[in-house]
A and B are shown apart, each in its own frame.
Chain A
Amino acid sequence: MAASIPNDNLTIPATWRGAVPALFAVGTVCVLISLGLFYFTSSEESPDVGYRAFFHSYLANFMFCLSFCLGALFFVMVQYLVRAAWSASIRRIAELLAFTIPWWAVMFAPILLMVLLTNSKALYEWNGGAVIGLSDIVESKLGYLNPGFFTIRALIYILVWTVSARTYFLMSRKQDDSGDTEINLKLQRWAGPFIMLFALSVNFAAFDWMMSTDAAWFSTIYGVYLFAASMLSFFAVMIIICNTLQRNGRIEKLVTTEHFHDMSKFQFGFIVFWGYIAFSQFLLYWYGNIPEETLWYKHRMEHGWQYIGLLLIAFHFAVPFLGTMSRHIRRRPAVMAGWAAFILVVHWMDMMFLIMPNAAPLSGMLIVGHLVCCIGMVSVFLAMFLLRVGETPLVAAKDPWLPDALAYQVCP
């Protein structure tokens, strides 16, 4: 069967690569425009709200793009860990997404510099020398949440992701030339330790970068929440990328309906997992009713954010749960691409819900600013991703599992 690998067009269209400079330009302009838009959310009583809102929005959109890259990194490693054959033909795209992390991490620099060089409390109230005005609970955390240690940890997380993404991508590329099957065995061996490091780094990155925007609050499940959201958005992104490539005549034979079916099943699974984690966190805090735990939800149950919360229950869980339940939906790539886009929109709302209520009340201008910032950040991300893809083949053609991946069929 090894001989029967079909010939497919394995590189992205040249015009896409040509769009990279334009995307960079649009991205930069949009982020700057959003800064201007957020200025209008300020008022007499709270003049720094616009500044706060911008940084929160920047972080939310940064995490939005980072989340599916992290999902991609985990996906690649877990495929090796369990020696999955079915995914061999789509794994390269995930490798490329994961390998965009080292570049995308540069976008974290503004936040890191703000923490390191200024005393601004625009994003993190624990930042800055003055202890005055901090609650006891935040003050007791300053040993962990301080600019120096925060920076060191951030660099460690980025290093872990960079090393693992680079290892898996470059080794897989090496196999494209040599066809050496030893590479699979080596990557399988490394998958376990790398996943453990991944779990720790994502968990603590969620604590440090996102959860500490509300420094007094804590939730031990927060990292898992980000992981669930990351995996969900990753499968949504994969479905969209594969569908878009196929519409442009790429990887038409190597990625089959079966792969779409499986990615959709994973997406469905993580819709449920996200709902499970999000509800678990809510239920425990709602039932316990302890002030320092419920404060986070209180912020999200007023000033218009409660509507976003209700929308998430309906559209992040109930609607896609029922909508993508059927096998007949999952086996239609175009329909699933629509659902995947829907998932990305609600995932973006979820990131907004996690981060933005700490900055400002919900308002029309805030949403517009956040949306423009999102367009900017996603444009920059796309530019980086396309630059990373370049002329890399979109399928690892000499992976020994590829024939199995092509013969793969989902049991009905």
Chain B
Amino acid sequence: MSDHDKPKKAAKPPQAFGWMAEYADENQLLDAARKVKDSGYTRTDAFTPFPVHGIDEALGIKPTVLPWFTLAAGFTGITVALTMQYWMNAVDYPYIISGKPYASWPAFIPVAFELTVLFSAFTTVFAMLGLNGLPRFSSPFFSNPKFDRTTDDRFFLWIDSRDKYFNSDKVKSLLSATGALSVEEVREDDSPTDIPKPIIFGIIALILVTLIPGAIVLNMRVATSGSPRFHVFFDMDFQPAKRPQTKTTIFEDGRVQRPAVPGTIARGELGASDSYNLGYEPESTAAIAPLDGAAKLVSFQQEADTKVPDSTASEANAESAPADAAAGEPNFAWITEMPIAADEELFELGKLKFEQNCAVCHGFGGYGDGLVSQRAMNLAQGYWLQPTSLHEDRIQQQPVGRLYYTVANGKGKMAGYAASLNPKERWAVVLYIRTLQRSQNAKQEDIPTGVTVSAGSKQ
């Protein structure tokens, strides 16, 4: 087995490998195997055309360790599969699928099952090959033409020359006494062990052939072509998916965009119609300002009119003409009280969100002097409107609901922040704005009696 690596010595005859006995049927083989085992030989093997029941016991072959490899691989497979899926679905890229939890174990089971089987099967095959010393191209047995019949109608027993008790003469006489058809010495195969040149060339050719597709792809990356693109997956490149605002024949009404099913709520819009999410009382608002389509249009138009970007127009201008401002101002039943507890935690959240989202324009102090604004002023662009100072009287007088509405839906050039801030965060920002306003307009009576204010004593 290991002699392939050894340097060849030309003149020396091949080394003994063992003795091989030939039998006509499996019963003779079994009897002989028992005798050989009883004589103490352990490095033995049998070669038969079909599996022979009892040969393991007769030869004294120990059970294989292969099942343990399989078991270990199976456990590895299930662990890898469950860990991988948990990490992917619940940690690295949490994504709701079919409304199930991120870590939805039942859904992980099929993959865990597959990986368990995959790992065990591959491990079993490769461990089996490894334990058998395979693959190998040749074996000394093949040097004896008689051995060919082991795949047909002959049974062979073999005693290895490396056996502890091996003695060539004793083995020969032992095997001869078992009723063997022939007993022959197997010698190491001394034919050249180099891989034949055609095989090497064949392998090189195969490797080169496998490089061709990659080479074509690489060439296509840099070359230009006049012919149209080759579509491998035609229906992926030209999907039947409809574009918005187009027609379809699938639905009776011909609309591609489907209206919401009555009684359903889109994801993330649960409770979207209560005052907590709107900043105003929807019922009262509907009563005082029934916003039908025409009225809405008018109000939008008026709002647009007040924002004509001539160089002098500004929010301050609007302030000086309250009637005009009121025309663009939605006439809603604003909430005047914070709908959630205005506590320290909400304040901290509001500070964080204000400084993340608002301060770039409105400034950390709320004076409308954020970095973006400063930069725009430096560039002296005439059409830049300085963001509203949150300390203006007009803003100070706005109810919290109005502030909330502005945060959510925007005002003038300011975009709505509904997509960035959830309702709680919007209310937190409102609270922080109120706090800023109070801080810049503090009065003596704001300070609770008996409290001495000094820098750094807050905590």
Instruction: Report which A residues bind B (CB closer than 8 A).
Output: 279, 282-283, 286-287, 289, 325, 327, 407-409, 411-412
| B293: Cβ under 8 A from any A Cβ | no
A407 with B53, Cβ < 8 A, contacts A283-B109, A287-B107 known: yes
Which residue from A282, A325, A409, A412 sits with its C-beta under 8 Å from B63? Answer: A412
Complexed CA–CA distance, A325 and B51 (Å): 24
| B263: Cβ under 8 A from any A Cβ | no
Give the residues in chain B near A407, CB-CB below 8 Å: 53
7 nearest interchain CB pairs?
A: A409-B53, A412-B63, A286-B106, A283-B106, A412-B56, A409-B54, A411-B51
Shortest distance from the beta carbon of B214 to any chain A beta carbon, whole Å: 40
Complexed CA–CA distance, A175 and B64 (Å): 42
A282 with B106, Cβ < 8 A, contacts A289-B99, A327-B63, A412-B63 known: yes
A412 with B53, Cβ < 8 A, contacts A283-B106, A283-B110, A289-B99 known: no
Give the residues in chain A near B219, CB-CB below 8 Å: none
Instruction: Report which B residues bind A (CB closer than 8 A).
Output: 51, 53-54, 56, 63-64, 67, 71, 98-100, 106-107, 109-110
CB pair A279 B109 closer than 8 Å: yes
Which residue from B53, B63, B71, B110 sits with its C-beta under 8 Å from A408? Answer: B53
Complexed CA–CA distance, A53 and B71 (Å): 44
Shortest distance from the beta carbon of A264 to any chain B beta carbon, whole Å: 15
With A287-B107, A289-B98 given, name 14 new contacts (CB 8 A). A283-B106, A283-B107, A283-B109, A286-B106, A287-B98, A287-B100, A287-B106, A289-B99, A327-B67, A407-B53, A409-B53, A411-B51, A412-B56, A412-B63
Interface centre among A289, A327, A408, A409 (most CB of B within 10 A): A409
Give the residues in chain A near B100, CB-CB below 8 Å: 287
Give the residues in chain A near B106, CB-CB below 8 Å: 279, 282-283, 286-287
Complexed CA–CA distance, A407 and B52 (Å): 11
Shortest distance from the beta carbon of B246 to any chain A beta carbon, whole Å: 32
Shortest distance from the beta carbon of A64 to any chain B beta carbon, whole Å: 28
Complexed CA–CA distance, A407 and B71 (Å): 30
In the complex, the chain B residue whose C-beta lies closest to that of A258 is B53
Complexed CA–CA distance, A408 and B67 (Å): 22
Shortest distance from the beta carbon of A90 to any chain B beta carbon, whole Å: 18
Q: List 11 A-B contacts (CB under 8 A).
A: A282-B106, A283-B106, A283-B107, A283-B109, A283-B110, A287-B106, A289-B99, A325-B71, A327-B63, A327-B67, A408-B53
CB pair A412 B98 closer than 8 Å: no
Complexed CA–CA distance, A281 and B53 (Å): 41
In the complex, the chain B residue whose C-beta lies closest to that of A280 is B110
Complexed CA–CA distance, A325 and B110 (Å): 21
Complexed CA–CA distance, A334 and B110 (Å): 35
Complexed CA–CA distance, A89 and B98 (Å): 53
Shortest distance from the beta carbon of A337 to any chain B beta carbon, whole Å: 23
Complexed CA–CA distance, A290 and B63 (Å): 51
Give the residues in chain A near B63, CB-CB below 8 Å: 327, 412
CB pair A412 B109 closer than 8 Å: no
Shortest distance from the beta carbon of A237 to any chain B beta carbon, whole Å: 28
Complexed CA–CA distance, A283 and B63 (Å): 39
Shortest distance from the beta carbon of A70 to any chain B beta carbon, whole Å: 27
Complexed CA–CA distance, A17 and B386 (Å): 105
Complexed CA–CA distance, A320 and B271 (Å): 50
Complexed CA–CA distance, A282 and B110 (Å): 12
Shortest distance from the beta carbon of A291 to any chain B beta carbon, whole Å: 14
In the complex, the chain B residue whose C-beta lies closest to that of A411 is B51
Give the residues in chain B near A412, CB-CB below 8 Å: 56, 63-64
Shortest distance from the beta carbon of B102 to any chain A beta carbon, whole Å: 15
Complexed CA–CA distance, A120 and B98 (Å): 41
Give the residues in chain B near A327, CB-CB below 8 Å: 63, 67
Give the residues in chain B near A283, CB-CB below 8 Å: 106-107, 109-110
Give the residues in chain A near B56, CB-CB below 8 Å: 412
Give the residues in chain A near B99, CB-CB below 8 Å: 289
Give the residues in chain B near A325, CB-CB below 8 Å: 71
Give the residues in chain A near B67, CB-CB below 8 Å: 327
